[in-house]
Amino acid sequence: MAQAAQKPEEKCECGGDLEWSRSCGAKVCVKCDNHKGLARCFCGWSKTSPGRGREELEEAGETIDPEEPSDLTNDFEAMFS
C-alpha cells in the first residue's frame, strides 16, 4: 500500500519551523516568534514593537475581551524582561 506524501514543513523567513498556535490563531515561528500573516497579536507580539502587540491593537480600535488575555501576555512579557 502506498504511503501518503507528507506535506513539507512550512518555514519562516528566518529558517525556523512554523507551528500552529491555537491561542494566537496563526502559525508562529519556534525560532524567532514571528506570527505569519500578522503585524501584531493580542498575546503581545508585534513586528514593530515587541511586547506591545495587544496595546497596538487596542490603540487601533480593536475590542479585546478583558477576560481573555490568558497567560500568553505574561509569558511574552517574561521573555523580554
Residue 6: C-alpha distances to residues 3, 9, 18, 44, 63 (Å): 9, 9, 16, 33, 39
Single pTM value for the model: 0.67
- What does the pLDDT look like over 19-73, one tens digit per residue? 999 989 999 999 999 999 999 998 999 999 888 999 999 999 988 877 555 555 5
For the beta carbon of residue 47, count every other beta carbon within 10 angstroms.
Answer: 13
36: left (phi over 0), alpha (psi -120 to 50) or beta: beta
Q: How far apart are CA 45 and CA 24, in angstroms?
A: 10
The pLDDT value given to residue 29: 96
How far is the C-alpha of 60 from the C-alpha of 71, rounded, in Å? Answer: 22
